[in-house]
Chain A
């Protein structure tokens, strides 16, 4: 599916375009977090429901929810369309990297051999204490192949 068409169908395009024009202070942590993931992975095929469910689970599990600093920074990341590799702030980069890593690890991306053309499916929050032995790079999932 073409990316533009996918965004339109899933409703993600509207979110990406609409939010930066809204008042900064009115953007919820959840919207900012969802938007930042979509922005970071604008070259992957994301599913909106999955991203939203991931963000609900992620925020329920970690301490960002209720943290003024994290809410502010996440809004800033979202509204300025910051990407993890293009931020001058280490804190911003780390926050976005944690979020983006956790999101990808929570999808079927790695079990689909990192196929960037396949739509991603949210499989449940990646957390070794909720689901041990799920590290997708370990010997359980991949042997160390060297030619």
Chain B
């Protein structure tokens, strides 16, 4: 640590922190001093590829495995993420649809959960900025409004997508994605290897290949191997951040603080610090998903341009959300086969992703070990489970334009790899933890970033939106 006192201290180097820093740096003075504390280390993409090829790399053991970083009281439920420089940008799959305007108004439109204090229109230009920064590939028409075209053209549809597009118009679109269509900033173009967690051709956006210039900025001091465990709170302000580095306790002070450690650790740090907000840590959740295999009669399914080539909105929005959850469809192009003579590729595979509602039964709590939270999860809501049953009944009709032999539903996934809801955004402190600018309702020099602030859990993937929120929060606050 070079300074005693910083203008800003940021925890974590994932999407939430990086986009917040990007906007902050564009507004801060030339002499600003910023400390970034990262619990892990850089594990470069080239070394990750070696690990995938079963070659040895000294980087493989540098970062804690996520499963060792918290106590999971429900082993049937998995929480997926990666610690280390760039966070889960290193292993995400790059699916980046926007939320729908209605997703921000669940209470006023459908009488469910709560409205977000920030609305789609306010985020629109920040969505544009993130899409530009990530070079998102996407279609010309979308079910949500856009003021600009996507920076990159859409990836090709597969055979089944083409038929669904014909039937459903803008309710069926080429998936907007951070898997590049056109090579950009040293990233390759996606060629459907379908191993996006570590893309063999470095096509997907990561913080490492982002070219955003954030961590190269001389105003930033990035300290690896620093695990933050608490904040020193004084009345309605944060004074210091407390962390362990090389087995020793350290403290650093600043004018402003920002937590970007994900929904498990943002809450854990706050709870360790004595945050007394009633809802801190509560409402942990994510979407619920399962795979539908659609066996086709004499129709071979070829030609998709990326891992997921289509997004279907046919079961997403509408009055049914008063009663049961929205569902987003993803059409997949992994090289799955039908092991039957003459029918090798007469099959389509859709991931059906359902929204869920935050519940206080699902929560993060501190433990006797200051460095490890516990995670408690009872299960998805009745609202979500009802939507799964409805989907199973409706899907044959939705896909009636395809020559269907049969549909097989697989067991729900143990995780959608999206962790949300432990420091929710709200108009008032009674209903949540942070305000619309992601500033803690009680501690007014503390930002809490990322999907822990999501008021509700739409079926759309969270990362584009949480990155847009980081830009928005920094832009409106500095």
Task: Report which A residues bind B (CB closer than 8 A).
Answer: 40, 43, 61, 84-85, 97, 100-101, 104-105, 110, 114, 116, 126, 128-130, 132-146
Contacts and interface: CB of A to CB of B under 8 A. Distances in A.
A138 B191 contact: yes
Nearest to B163: A146
With most chain B CB atoms within 10 A of its CB, the pick from A101, A105, A135 is A135
A143 B302 contact: yes
A120 B452 CA distance: 52
A120 B3 CA distance: 66
A136 to B, nearest CB: 6
8 contacts: A101-B337, A105-B335, A116-B342, A133-B191, A133-B192, A137-B192, A137-B301, A138-B305
Contacts of A61: 54
> Top 7 closest A-B pairs, CB basis?
A144-B303, A138-B192, A133-B191, A128-B193, A132-B200, A142-B302, A129-B52
B174 to A, nearest CB: 12
With most chain B CB atoms within 10 A of its CB, the pick from A40, A100, A133 is A133
B209 interface: no
Contact of A132 (B191, B304, B340): B191
B200 A138 contact: no
Contacts of B337: 100-101, 104-105
B136 to A, nearest CB: 19
B192 A140 contact: yes
B399 interface: no
B455 to A, nearest CB: 38
Contact of A138 (B303, B339, B344): B303
Contact of A145 (B49, B302, B340): B302
B156 to A, nearest CB: 4
Contact of B303 (A85, A132, A137): A137
A126 B333 CA distance: 16
B302 A84 contact: no
A137 B344 CA distance: 11
With most chain B CB atoms within 10 A of its CB, the pick from A40, A114, A126 is A114
A137 B335 contact: yes
Interface in B146-190: 156-159, 161-163
Contacts of A134: 193
B194 A128 contact: yes
A40 B54 CA distance: 28
B193 A144 contact: no
B336 interface: yes
A44 B194 CA distance: 27
Contacts of A130: 53
B264 interface: no
A129 B304 CA distance: 20
Contact of B192 (A100, A126, A135): A135
Nearest to A40: B339
B248 interface: no
B341 interface: yes
B193 A132 contact: yes
